[in-house]
Structure 1
Amino acid sequence: MRTSQALALARTLPRGLLAPASASASASASGTTATGATCPGTASKTVPHKSTALPPVRYHIFRTPLPYPQGLDMQYRVIQERLQRRERGESSAQDVMFLLEHTPTYTTGRRDNSPNPDTLHPEEEKVQDVGAGFYITKRGGQVTYHGPGQIVGYPILDLTAMGTPTRCYVEYLQSLLREYAEDLGLDVAAPHEDGHVGVFRGRDEKLASIGIHLTHRITSHGFAMNVTPEPVPWFDLVTACGLADVRAVSIAQLLERAGKPGPSVAECAAALVPRFASTFGREFIPLDAPAEGETAGEVEAIKAIVADVTALAEKAEKEAGGWPTRPRVKQQ
């Protein structure tokens, strides 16, 4: 059976974003990209399309690391708010993006052949009692790690309203993360030369992962990029994304090789917002900016959800007395 910690936390997870999988679509964090025509704007830094008819995307940057259940619950509640408004015939056009760090957490996605839920996942066996939770979710991809020192992005966007195919959405995420790393002076590639989705340094180092889920063409989950070295020892305990010959690396480690300092997670988050705006041709404004017009009610509902999640995260951090910075590994 799973550890008591994992079982207790798993009960709080919203079923809509957890395995077993439904008919909703997922995209892999480690599989190859779909074949087809090149998506507009992915081969250069041009804007793929302008969505001036859509309201600005609201974004929120969390200052306190979120336990993974709260992060999932937040996405689920925002999506349900949109779907319920649609059912009532009300306006539901408010896209949002959350940027955050998680508390130490391992997750796996729908591409992983999940075993009997009453037994330990093979990768979970490797990380028992190291100080991190373990969850099976509906995103694409296999096992990965989230924790302090890593920027996680959860864009909740209506791809139908944007006129964006799923494949192109994944490619746009990949492209903007790669360009951010390149502008820092890093020599990276996205995707991997073997076709694996993500941002890589050479053949054997991975900087960023992507794994998404769609509910009625509304995105959830998203991306994760290692900013500081802190996540790397946690990654070393598992076969991340099913790539046995690939090791996690951080922006700070790559820049250190060139004798340069790396950005903080907060600096990375702030720099990614305008990149999303230019990549998707949308205006991005803070969630707490004044709300007017037909999306005002929806914005206020999202603010209330974020306030609830923030309070829970602050309470969890206080009760835990902080989060481990390194995995608790028994000495042989």
Structure 2
Amino acid sequence: MKAWICKAFGDAPMLIDCDEPVAQSRDVIIDIAACGVNFADTLILEGKYQKRPQGPFAPGFEIAGTVSAVGPNVRGLKIGDRVMAMPDWGGYGEKIAVDAGSVTILPDNVEFNSAAAFQIAYGTSWFGLKYRAKVQRGDVVLVHGAAGGVGLTAVECARLLGATVIATAGGEPKCAIAKAHGADHVIDYKSESIRDRVKEICAGIGRTGADVVYDPVGGDVFDQSLRCVAPGARILLIGFASGSVPQIPANILLVKNVAALGFYFGAYLEQNPDIAKAGMAELLDLLSSGKISPMVSAVYSLSDAMVALEAIRNRTATGKLVIRCGE
């Protein structure tokens, strides 16, 4: 089988022939049809992600495909099942061994590309907004990076939860994408002040500021958010795509009664298994019923995976990028 293998943190991955994985006691082997591309893929290659593989590894956190082998103690899954999974790494390849307990059977009407584009982005947004930030109907939610793979899902999920959505994006085309996906208001951060425009928008609807901020960007964006939130607001920290980790001024949190909430989706699922099961069932129902629809903006062959990764690294991509691994 072929896979993109990184031999040491910081080295460029190489597409090479590898031994096929073998199913252990509770493993299944998945023939990977599609793998979603995420900003975290760039971090794990640099050794900057929360989890660090030991030895050579392939990046890739979210996959969809077909079960081709099962371990002797696996129950509830069989060869031929269409499934999705979120391994710690290993998705940029043709096959993978994963624990059967982390595998979800796909509804018949969900395609592999959609499943691969769906898990991390929608999972981060749905669990982060509903369960961590506890968004309520009528809240004003400010979504940064709203034309990206994660930000677009936050716009959709916030709307499903009954919020008024203010979206930020860089440039008119990206603002138009956020608007088309349900944002009530859009701010072009390249030509407008986020702080001033949020205050202006909120004043126009009788509000003092954003109740919830969804921030996958960090840096100066966090600083501007802190100055346009309502008293009692929740700032949900998803990541730092800007490359700058903000230093949080505790005095402002104190004076405005604002909460800064970290949210790491993978760890949250491990720490809250009951919520994880219920929340993923909710998301699959929304997906299969068409209430959410991943925006797959480009599909790459396995041989072109590094082109997709570079688009994510440079923040030139909109929506979600998918690698077709089994073709």
Structure having greater relative contact order (Cα 8 Å, sep ≥ 6): 1
Give the TM-score of the pair, scaled to structure 1.
0.29
Give the TM-score of the pair, scaled to structure 2.
0.29
* Pair member with larger Rg: 2
Identify the structure with the greater strand proportion.
2
